[in-house]
Amino acid sequence: MFITNAYAQSATDSAASAFGGSGFEMIILFVPLMVVWYFLLIRPQRAQAKKREEILKNIRRGDQIVTSGIVGKVTKVVDEKELEVEIAEGVRIRVVRSAISEVRVKGEPVKADAA
Q: Is residue 113 part of a domain?
A: no
pLDDT at 108: 63
DSSP string, 12-39: HHHHHHHTTS-HHHHHHHHHHHHHHHII
Give the global pTM. 0.63
Q: Is residue 74 part of a domain?
A: yes
Residue 28 CB-half CA count within 13 A: 6
Q: Which domain holds residue 36?
A: 11-55
CATH number of the domain to which 86 belongs: 2.30.30.60
- 93 beta partners: 85
Q: Assign 14 a pLDDT band (cuts: 50, 70, 90).
A: low
Listed in sequence order, the DSSP H helices in the chain are 11-18, 23-37, 43-57
Q: Assess whether 51 and 68 both reside in one domain.
A: no
Q: Is residue 6 part of a domain?
A: no
Q: Assess whether 18 and 50 both reside in one domain.
A: yes
